[in-house]
Amino acid sequence: MSIIIQALAILLMLAILSSLIIVHECGHFLVARFFGFQTPVFGFGLPFGPTWTIGKAWGTEFKIHACLLGGYVAIPELGDESEITQENLGTDLKPFRKFPIWQRALVAFAGVGFNIIFAYVIMVVMLLSIGDPIQTTQVEKFVAENPIAQNAGVKPDDILVSVDDRFISSPTDAVSVLGNYKSKPVTLHLLRDGKPIEITLTPNENGKVGMYLEPVGKVKYRKLDESFGAICVLGLERTYDMSGQMVQAIGQMVGNLMPHPGANGAMTGPKGSWQDIHGILAVVKIGADIAKQDMRQLFLFTILISLDLAIFNLVPWPALDGGHLAFMVFEAIMGRPLGPETQGHIVKWGFVSLFALVCLVMFNDVSALLTGKLDLKHNSKTQIKHGSDK
């Protein structure tokens, strides 16, 4: 029975991932159709194995591929025209039109925009249906280099309830909220041995007070009595905060992979490891474990993956949406597009490097899966450092 449950949980995660990719591609498709771009093919799944055409409308052939994971939409006028042919799309093309940069930029950004909108919609649905997810936030220890909280009277095992009038729903939420009080006094509302206390302190210029925070217990859901409008605003705030936290975490991860100055000023090796980079397999494994424990947490997991897709696709890499936008920025500044041959070489090497990254990520995922590093219990232990407030 456990094997069946695990298999169903994995299928559920694959369905969620595919849906998020389809949402992304629908963004490109709808905005492209609105401006009159050609969209000769919209494919459900990856173009491997048998393919079935299920219909044609709006100048678009809709196809289903045997490998039902994700999807894609072909928009020839958004890519390198010299490499787009009727043969490699398998359908008729009209003469190419030249669209203004702002329209091409909107089409390129539309997938990212739809992922963000979708994450926000799921956030509001979650708040309305099951409530606001909260996890008890406890002070684990202090940072010796920043004794602000310790000197103010905060103690290990204190429970952080709210910061001023802002309720704290998780350690990362606490870090985000305190970051808004750079060099400004703020009151922490804590529970110590079950009794409420208040401590006023002033974070440093970076909004840090020197606490390591950890989540304790299971995620709970607080029912909201606010109006629909207030919940929509709260959903917007939560989505914005989560986006900022993810950007910060990704930036920290990238920074940890780079050499950094040591104590004597000399450059030393990276703090992190390339083995820390994971991909779809890790997402599916962790998501399946979460689904088995508490299906309600799939709301948050879906929001996080949707935002992750948006952020990742904004990276100015030639094979991503951010690469299209980077080419358009060059065209806007220089008054002319990059030469077709130069752009073609950049795109080619972009795909090669992205493929190399995918291979690395897949190797890391398989290695972590075999060694148990992707188990939910092991993964939850790393939340302490993600919830730290130095």
Query: In this structure, is residue 245 part of a structural domain?
Result: no
| 144-188 confidence digits (pLDDT tens) | 888 999 999 999 999 999 999 888 888 888 888 888 899 999 999
Does residue 174 sit in the same domain as residue 64?
A: no
Does residue 40 sit in the same domain as residue 141?
A: no
Does residue 6 sit in the same domain as residue 54?
A: yes
User: In CATH, what number is assigned to the domain containing residue 138?
Assistant: 2.30.42.10
> Which of 92-96, 326-330, 345-349 has the weakest average pLDDT?
92-96
Query: In this structure, is residue 72 part of a structural domain?
Result: yes
Q: Which of the listed residues 205, 222, 239 is the one where a domain comes to its end? A: 222
Q: Which of the listed residues 175, 197, 222 is the one where a domain comes to its end? A: 222
| 141-154 confidence digits (pLDDT tens) | 998 888 999 999 99
Q: Does 372 have pLDDT greater than 70?
A: no
Does residue 214 sit in the same domain as residue 193?
A: yes
| 55-67 confidence digits (pLDDT tens) | 998 889 999 998 8
Task: Give the total number of structural domains in the chain.
Answer: 2
pLDDT at 385: 35
Does residue 89 sit in the same domain as residue 165?
A: no
Does residue 207 sit in the same domain as residue 314?
A: no
At 337, give phi and psi (nearest 5°): -75, 160
Domain range for 138: 133-222
Q: Which of the listed residues 222, 238, 266 is the one where a domain comes to its end? A: 222
- Rounded distance between C-alpha atoms, residue 17 and residue 13, angstroms: 6
**What is the pLDDT confidence band of residue 358, given thresholds at 50, 70 and 90?**
confident
Counting other chains too, the contacts that 353-361 makes at CB distance below 8 Å and 24 or more residues apart are: 353/317, 354/317, 354/319, 354/320, 357/277, 358/279, 360/274, 360/277, 361/277, 361/278, 361/279, 361/280
Does residue 69 sit in the same domain as residue 111?
A: yes
**What is the pLDDT confidence band of residue 83, given thresholds at 50, 70 and 90?**
very low
Query: In this structure, is residue 147 part of a structural domain?
Result: yes
